Amino acid sequence: MENSNLLLIYLAILLGLLSIAAFFVVRQVIKTRRIESTLSRLQSKLTKEKGTAQEYYELGSLLLDKKLYTQAVLYLQQALKQLGDDDSENAAVVHNALGYAYFAQEQYDLAIRNYKEALKITPAYVTALNNLGHSYERKQLMNQALEVYESALAAEPQNSTAKRRADSLRKRLVATSDKS
């Protein structure tokens, strides 16, 4: 009797765990399908006709998520061309995404140029500041990187990325100056 109760409990637990796993798998499949459908729809539309800046940006962002950086750059550049002069806030976001696409391809100078464009439009754009700092780090421009991270912290004192990177850079710069 006791063994059969124990077996039922194990089976119930196993069934519960499998149900939870199935839920997450189905949810991920639905999400992936939705993304692929949107990607397909946008690619199809934008190859046939001119789209809006939002559509080009959305497609560029989806391609970034899929790590198709070269294609993403093309659509993000199109998004910038479609934006009007009065849409500067969105232009900053597109420049930041474009900077990320170049950064991912290790084209740090182009990434830096786009991050700076985003910051010219929106000076306290913390994500662009963090990204610019990271680009400077990759180019071994540690003083500039630290300066940018400190700007990010001035704009958003609780920014964990800027805090962590700035602390790390300060330690490295002190260690370097101690060796001299």
**Whether residue 38 sits in one domain with residue 55:** no
**Whether residue 143 sits in one domain with residue 96:** no
* Tally of structural domains, the chain: 3
**Whether residue 166 sits in one domain with residue 144:** yes
12 within a domain of the structure (yes/no): yes
**Does the pLDDT at position 20 exceed 70?**
yes
Res 126: pLDDT: 95
Res 89: pLDDT: 72
Q: Where are the alpha helices (DSSP H) in the chain?
A: 2-48, 53-65, 69-82, 88-104, 108-121, 126-138, 142-155, 160-179
Residue 4 banded pLDDT, cuts 50, 70, 90: confident
Domain enclosing residue 67, as ranges:
50-107
Average pLDDT score over the chain:
89
117 within a domain of the structure (yes/no): no
**Does the pLDDT at position 153 exceed 90?**
yes
Q: Nearest-CA neighbor of 73 among 36, 116, 110, 42?
A: 110
180 within a domain of the structure (yes/no): yes
35-79 pLDDT per residue, tens: 788 778 788 788 777 888 888 999 999 999 999 999 999 999 999
Res 30: pLDDT: 84
Give, in order, the Cα–Cα distances in Å from 63 to each of 121, 132, 175: 24, 21, 40
Cβ(142)–Cβ(173) below 8 Å? yes
87-121 pLDDT per residue, tens: 777 899 999 999 999 999 999 999 999 999 999 99
**Does the pLDDT at position 179 exceed 80?**
no
**Does the pLDDT at position 180 exceed 60?**
no
